[in-house]
């Protein structure tokens, strides 16, 4: 009851805000393709464009945003459920003032919680959507039954792949897993670790042809990120590469990607389900009961 009252007070403080954040899920078909590193640096790039961003690490129990920035957050999503905190209490501040929620450890899934706790989570998450321009969910690698509910609820999905055939195959499998649920969510592709721009574009074309042929879906290329040694150096130093070496090729590519994303034309995006993220997620959660 206390947590419910807290949520209501928080709602009263924020109900005058009219903005509605766009929800973006960043996913990959397999681990080790640079998904979390992209999520972190993409969030910072959007912030540089004067957008207010919340990065939400949803690789719950195995989150690594803390590791990538070399900081240990005071609280994580685990503490929200175990200690009856506000979601605002567990938001940490990272490099350049980026706000994020850590995935933490020790909690396998938030969907196995009792209905009351999950309802409070949704209430407070809904309030956060009034505060930010973008909420970026860094998903765990692959797709589970639980993560699929989040993926089917967001406004847009960014898929990270590399030119490796296994990475492309896994990316296609992940896209297919979403599509078979009759989702109209648009997919954008980022080709990471491309030897050059041509290799990145060729990788996308192959994936695009496969998705179009077998799924009858349209995907778009958001951009490519070169196989830049500066990225590994930044990871070792536990700093976002866009801040570690702003002039390196990877940072320039990431800045271009963020500008391309913000400048996308409506006609380049497939028809969207305009239902609010929270409404869709609530419906999927209740169906899973």
pLDDT at 242: 97
List the chain domain ranges: 19-287
- In CATH terms, 19-287 corresponds, of 1.10.3720.10, 2.60.120.10, 3.30.70.2740, 3.40.50.300, to 3.40.50.300
**d(C-alpha 210, C-alpha 235), whole Å:** 33
Residues of the chain above pLDDT 70, percent: 83
pLDDT at residue 11 greater than cutoff 80: no
Residue 2 has pLDDT above 50, yes or no: no
Confidence of residue 287 (pLDDT cuts 50, 70, 90): low
Residue 269 sits at φ, ψ, to 5 deg, of -110, 140
Averaged pLDDT of the chain: 85
Instruction: Note the pLDDT tens digit of each residue in 45-89.
Output: 999 999 999 999 987 656 689 889 988 888 888 888 888 888 999
Biggest distance spanned by C-alpha atoms of the chain: 57
- Whether residue 153 contacts residue 273, with contact meaning beta carbons closer than 8 Å, is answered with no
Tell me 182's DSSP state.
Answer: T
Q: Give the H/E segment covering residue 13.
A: helix 2-14
- In this structure, the strands spanning 156-161 and 22-28 are parallel
Q: Which two tokens stand for residue 244?
A: 């570690």
128 in Cβ contact with 121 (< 8 Å): no
Kindly provide the residue ranges of all beta strands, DSSP E only, lying in 119-241, ordered along the sequence.
134-138, 156-161, 187-194, 219-226
Separation of alpha carbons 107 and 208, rounded Å: 36
| Residue that is written with structure tokens 């492309």 in the block | 168
More confident site: 32 or 17? 32
Cα separations (Å) of 274 from 23, 182, 241, 270, 278?
Answer: 12, 15, 34, 12, 11
256 neighbors 42 (Cβ within 8 angstroms): no
- What local confidence, expressed as pLDDT, does residue 113 receive? 59
Do 225 and 41 form a contact (C-beta atoms < 8 A)? Answer: no
Given pLDDT bands bounded at 50, 70 and 90, which one contains residue 257?
A: very high
Q: How confident is the model at residue 267 (pLDDT cuts 50, 70, 90)?
A: very low
Region 187-212 average pLDDT: 96
- Find the angle CA(113)-CA(116)-CA(121) to the nearest 5 degrees: 75
Check residue 138 and give its pLDDT: 94
Question: Higher confidence at residue 158 or residue 5?
Answer: 158
Q: What is the pLDDT of residues 129-160, one digit of tens each?
A: 999 999 999 998 777 777 888 899 999 999 99
Q: Which of 117-126, 136-145, 192-201 has the highest mean pLDDT?
A: 192-201
Q: Which range is least confidently modeled, 13-17, 33-37, 116-120, 216-220?
A: 13-17
At which residue do the structure tokens 């590469």 appear? 241
Q: What are the DSSP calls for 183-203, one per residue?
A: ----EEEEEEEESSHHHHHHH
- Whether residue 275 has pLDDT greater than 60: yes
Give the whole-number percent of the chain exceeding pLDDT 90. Answer: 58
DSSP summary character for residue 109? -
Which residues lie across from 194 on neighbouring strands?
226
Asked if 82 contacts 74 with a C-beta cutoff of 8 angstroms, the reply is no
């Amino acid at each position: 009851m206390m947590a419910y009252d807290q949520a209501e007070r928080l709602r009263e403080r924020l109900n005058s805000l009219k903005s509605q954040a766009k929800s973006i899920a960043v996913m990959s078909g397999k681990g080790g393709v640079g998904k979390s590193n992209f999520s972190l640096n993409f969030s910072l790039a959007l912030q540089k464009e004067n957008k207010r961003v919340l990065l939400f690490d949803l690789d719950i129990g195995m989150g690594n945003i803390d590791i990538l920035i070399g900081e240990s957050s005071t609280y994580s999503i685990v503490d929200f459920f175990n200690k009856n905190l506000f979601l605002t209490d567990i938001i940490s501040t990272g490099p350049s003032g980026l706000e994020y929620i850590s995935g933490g450890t020790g909690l396998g899934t938030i969907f196995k919680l009792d209905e009351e706790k999950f309802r409070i989570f949704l209430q407070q998450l809904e309030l956060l959507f009034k505060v930010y321009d973008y909420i970026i969910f860094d998903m765990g690698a692959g797709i589970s039954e639980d993560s699929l509910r989040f993926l089917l609820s967001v406004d847009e999905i960014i898929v990270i792949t590399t030119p490796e055939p296994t990475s492309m195959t896994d990316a296609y499998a992940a896209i297919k897993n979403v599509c078979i649920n009759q989702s109209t969510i648009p997919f954008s592709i980022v080709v990471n670790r491309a030897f050059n721009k041509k290799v990145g574009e060729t990788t996308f074309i192959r994936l695009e042809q496969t998705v179009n042929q077998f799924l009858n879906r349209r995907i778009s290329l958001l951009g490519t990120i070169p196989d830049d040694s500066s990225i590994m150096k930044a990871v070792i130093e536990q700093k976002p590469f866009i801040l570690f070496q702003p002039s390196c090729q990877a940072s320039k590519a990431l800045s271009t990607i963020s500008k391309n994303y913000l400048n996308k034309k409506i006609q380049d995006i497939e028809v969207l389900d305009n239902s609010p993220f929270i409404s869709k997620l609530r419906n999927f959660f209740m169906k899973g009961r």
